[in-house]
């Protein structure tokens, strides 16, 4: 195989004045229709003189962001849209955008104009000079959180930064930044090991690369965080809990995946729901124990299913008909998990007569079983 014109392909013409991109600007997007054109124009202005391209990774936004980007592609040669169906997720959107460019450097920027695109050339310069990663930072010299964040968001952001500092293994002033530039090879090396289901890809890239024995040489450029131009933020309490899952997972050295920790957390709330329902049925509704226990089990399982669907597996949420088949498969698998629980617990109890040890072993056994099997079948 040869790269470049051969005798048979020499008739193929390059598009007029084609320059392979030096930098790909990845824009994860969900409902950013009213922002993307202005963003493109601003980035084009900032990067004039550098061959670059913009890749918008859109999760089939209902507002038609993808259609707009496709229209822009008919006007400008260096913008295109990667449209994903039935999926959600900022982190995986960034990784997939990085995977479809040939540019040696990739930058990630929000679609809502909160990040200052005019520092992109400086970021690129630092990367060309040898940094693997250049973070656009609100907290480095020359940076400011501006009025882009509410007071609650700012204190939440500070707390998240502290947590991140504990796992980062190097000093980064803004580990929560959604604005950074990285050598494509370095990012793709870590990509298969990243948690796909989070908002926080930067800290994941830093920690994962270090853990793979190739820590990222990092530089920073300060900028002032702006207010969102049009539309709404997708930040939510769920995103915060997902971040805590990622953080705990990194703290365990990655031994426990974030989705397992979230699944366990959901299971914990399910126990509370179970006990409350049991109490309600036996006392308030004056039902017998067996009926109450059956009702409580069904309600707690349903609760767990919906919470997992929205939190643990928000990136592959089941909807419509699949919600029903998913719920039924979840019931069936958890029932098997219950059998596994009781068999393991009885076997251990028969061996050492320790109620607590046997009970705990059974519970751990069924949690792992339910997690692994529902992940493979219910949320495949």
Query: Which residues have C-beta within 8 Å of that of residue 164, sequence separation ≥ 6?
Result: 172, 175, 176, 200, 203, 247
Which chain residues interact with ligand GDD by CB under 6 A?
28-30, 32, 57-59, 88-90, 93, 110-112, 114, 149, 157, 176, 178, 199, 233-235
Between 297 and 309, CB nearer to ligand GDD: 309
The CB-of-376 to ligand GDD minimum distance in angstroms stands at 23
234: alpha, beta or left? (left if phi > 0; alpha if psi -120 to 50): alpha
Cα distances (Å, whole numbers) of residue 78 to 34, 56, 61, 97, 277:
19, 11, 21, 14, 57
Judged by beta carbon distances under 5 to 8 A according to partner kind, the member of Mn ion, ligand GDD, none in contact with residue 368 is none
Report the residue closest to ligand GDD, judged by CB: 178
Judged by beta carbon distances under 5 to 8 A according to partner kind, the member of ligand GDD, Mn ion, none in contact with residue 234 is ligand GDD
- Contact of 169 with 251, CB cutoff 8 Å: no
Query: Which residues have C-beta within 8 Å of that of residue 329, sequence separation ≥ 6?
Result: 374, 377, 378
Query: Which residues have C-beta within 8 Å of that of residue 69, sequence separation ≥ 6?
Result: 36, 56, 58, 79, 80, 81
Kindly give the pairing relationship between strand 133-137 and strand 218-222.
Answer: parallel
> Hey, what are 36's tokens?
């993307």
Judged by beta carbon distances under 5 to 8 A according to partner kind, the member of ligand GDD, Mn ion, none in contact with residue 204 is none
The CB-of-198 to ligand GDD minimum distance in angstroms stands at 9
The CB-of-231 to Mn ion minimum distance in angstroms stands at 9
Between 198 and 362, CB nearer to ligand GDD: 198
The CB-of-303 to ligand GDD minimum distance in angstroms stands at 24
The CB-of-79 to Mn ion minimum distance in angstroms stands at 20
Judged by beta carbon distances under 5 to 8 A according to partner kind, the member of Mn ion, ligand GDD, none in contact with residue 199 is ligand GDD
């Amino acid at each position: 195989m040869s790269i470049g014109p051969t005798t048979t392909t020499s008739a193929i013409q390059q598009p007029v004045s084609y320059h392979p991109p030096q930098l790909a600007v990845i824009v994860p997007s969900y409902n950013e229709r009213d922002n993307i054109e202005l963003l493109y124009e601003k980035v084009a202005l900032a990067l004039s003189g550098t061959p670059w391209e913009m890749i918008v990774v859109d999760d089939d936004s209902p507002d038609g962001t993808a259609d707009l980007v496709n229209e822009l592609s008919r006007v400008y040669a260096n913008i295109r849209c990667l449209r994903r169906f039935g999926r959600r997720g900022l982190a995986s959107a960034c990784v997939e955008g990085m995977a479809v460019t040939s540019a040696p450097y990739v930058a990630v920027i929000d679609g809502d104009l909160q990040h200052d695109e005019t520092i992109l050339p400086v970021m690129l310069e630092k990367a060309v000079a040898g940094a693997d990663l250049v973070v656009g930072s609100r907290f480095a010299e020359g940076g400011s959180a501006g009025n882009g964040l509410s007071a609650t968001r700012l204190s939440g952001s500070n707390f998240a930064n502290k947590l991140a500092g504990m796992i980062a293994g190097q000093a980064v002033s803004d580990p929560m930044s959604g604005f950074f530039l990285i050598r494509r090879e370095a990012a793709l090396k870590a990509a298969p090991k990243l948690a796909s289901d989070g908002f926080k890809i930067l800290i994941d890239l830093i920690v994962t690369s270090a853990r793979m024995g190739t820590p990222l040489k990092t530089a920073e450029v300060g900028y002032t965080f702006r207010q969102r131009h049009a539309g709404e933020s997708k930040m939510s309490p769920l995103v915060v809990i997902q971040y805590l899952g990622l953080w705990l997972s990194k703290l365990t050295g990655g031994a426990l995946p974030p989705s397992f920790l979230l699944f366990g957390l959901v299971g914990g709330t399910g126990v509370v729901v179970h006990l409350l329902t049991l109490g309600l049925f036996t006392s308030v509704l004056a039902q017998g124990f067996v009926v109450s226990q059956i009702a409580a089990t069904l309600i707690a399982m349903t609760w767990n299913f919906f919470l997992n669907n929205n939190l643990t597996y928000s990136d592959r949420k089941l909807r419509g008909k699949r919600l029903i088949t998913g719920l039924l498969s979840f019931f069936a698998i958890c029932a098997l998990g219950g059998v596994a629980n009781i068999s393991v617990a009885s076997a251990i109890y028969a061996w050492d007569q320790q109620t607590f040890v046997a009970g705990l072993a059974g519970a751990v056994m069924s949690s792992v079983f339910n997690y692994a099997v529902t992940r493979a079948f219910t949320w495949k």
